[in-house]
Amino acid sequence: LNTKKQAPTVNSNCCSFEDYKLTTEWLLNQTSHRPKVAVICGSGLGLLANAVNNRQSFRYEDIPNFPVSTIPGHEGCLVFGTIKDQCCVFMQGRVHLYEGYSLCKVTFPVRIFKLLGVETLVVTNASGGICQDYKVGDIMVIKDHINLPGFAGQHPLCGPNDERFGVRFPCMSDAYSKDLRRLALDISSEMGCSDFVREGVYCMVSGPNFETIAEARMLQVLGCDAVGMSTVPEVTVAKHCGIRVFGLSLITNKVSLDYSREEMVNHEDVLLTGKMRAEFLQKLVATLIIRCNHQEQ
Ligand X SMILES: O=P(O)(O)O[C@@H]1C[C@H](O)[C@@H](CO)O1
Ligand Y SMILES: Nc1nc2[nH]cnc2c(=O)[nH]1
**Which positions are catalytic?**
43, 74, 96, 98-99, 126, 229-230, 253, 267
The CB-side HSE value for 16 (13 A sphere, CA atoms) comes to 3
Site for ligand Y in 241-270 (CB under 6 A): 252-253, 255, 265, 270
Q: Is 128 in the site for ligand X (CB under 6 A)?
A: no
Please tell me whether 277 is known to bind a ligand: no
What 3-state DSSP class applies to 199? Answer: strand
> Measuring CA to CA, how many Å separate 22 from each of 1, 66, 115, 134, 174?
38, 11, 11, 44, 31
Q: What is the DSSP letter of 210?
A: P
DSSP letter string, 109-150 = HHHHHHHHT--EEEEEEEEEE-STT--TT-EEEEEEEEEHHH
Binding mask 124-153 for ligand Y (x = CB under 6 A): --xxx-------------------------
Site for ligand Y in 196-225 (CB under 6 A): 205, 207, 210-211
What whole-number distance in Å separates Cα of residue 58 and Cα of residue 47? 16
What whole-number distance in Å separates Cα of residue 117 and Cα of residue 82? 15
Please tell me whether 189 is known to bind a ligand: no
Distance of CA 196 to the CA centre of its chain: 21
Please tell me whether 119 is known to bind a ligand: no
By beta carbon distance, the residue nearest ligand X is 42
137 interface partner picked from ligand Y, ligand X, none, CB below 5 to 8 A per type? none
Piece of the chain touching ligand X by CB under 6 A; list 24-32, 52-60, 102-110, 222-230:
222-230
Residue ranges for the known binding site are 43, 74, 94-96, 126, 211, 230, 253
Question: Which residues are near ligand X by CB under 6 A?
Answer: 42-43, 94, 96, 125-126, 207, 228-230, 267, 270
Residue ranges for the known binding site for a purine D-ribonucleoside are 211, 253
